[in-house]
Chains A and B, each alone.
Chain A
Amino acid sequence: AQSVTQLDSQVPVFEEAPVELRCNYSSSVSVYLFWYVQYPNQGLQLLLKYLSGSTLVKGINGFEAEFNKSQTSFHLRKPSVHISDTAEYFCAVTEYNFNKFYFGSGTKLNVKP
């Protein structure tokens, strides 16, 4: 089974500062990678996904992530955060047949004014 590690449970950052949320996965086989965002009392919303091709993936709300196969990582970045980015972010992985998604434990991003 896959495992997804999000080492940082909470990340505080000031508004307009850059941020990186880290994600590492365990699989050595081909995988597809996702980042979801969860606002309070809401379901998960897809931010971006990596399936193939360019290792730098751009998503909604100015977020991007880079797939690094050698380091089995898929870190999420944003050059300048806004208060509205305060939410919990989940990294997820699935193998090529999309049969099952495995989620990390989440990182709470707290953007301070």
Chain B
Amino acid sequence: EAGVAQSPRYKIIEKRQSVAFWCNPISGHATLYWYQQILGQGPKLLIQFQNNGVVDDSQLPKDRFSAERLKGVDSTLKIQPAKLEDSAVYLCASSSSRGTIEQFFGPGTRLTVL
């Protein structure tokens, strides 16, 4: 089966610009996660979707970050405007349902904000 797909793999922007990341989970997976992984740190959950509804976005900086999963399949994470401290790898993961043990991760998008 195909894994979690993410694009782009790399992105370089200047501060105050906007950027968007795309994630396509494993087919049939109802739960989708976006994580931020800053260099030298472990992944930190930004937002969790169950189908097209938000389960947890308590750590999402909502003044600049937004995410959607309109049809309950693929998802987009947007940053507007970007700050230097947003430089990180953004990981998308999916699982077959909420409360499922294993999350499957995509390769990530490495964002550099100059």
Contact = CB atoms under 8 A, between A and B. Distances in A.
A100 B56 CA distance: 9
Nearest to B108: A43
B107 A98 contact: no
B98 interface: yes
Contacts, number: 55
B56 A103 contact: no
B56 A99 contact: yes
Interface in A71-113: 90, 92, 97-101, 103-106
Interface size range on B against A: 20 to 34
Contact of B105 (A43, A99, A105): A43
A43 B41 contact: no
Contacts of A106: 40-42
Interface string B24-44: 000000000000000011111
B59 to A, nearest CB: 9
B101 A43 contact: no
A42 interface: yes
B42 A49 contact: no
B91 interface: yes
Contact of B99 (A9, A41, A44, A98): A98
A74 to B, nearest CB: 14
Q: Which 6 A-B pairs have the closest CB atoms?
A: A103-B42, A43-B105, A44-B105, A98-B99, A103-B43, A43-B107
Interface of B: 4, 9, 40-45, 48, 55-56, 91, 93, 98-103, 105-108
Given A45-B105, A90-B43, A98-B101, 18 more contacts: A4-B42, A6-B42, A32-B101, A41-B108, A42-B108, A43-B91, A43-B105, A43-B107, A46-B103, A97-B99, A98-B98, A99-B55, A99-B56, A99-B98, A100-B45, A103-B43, A105-B41, A105-B42
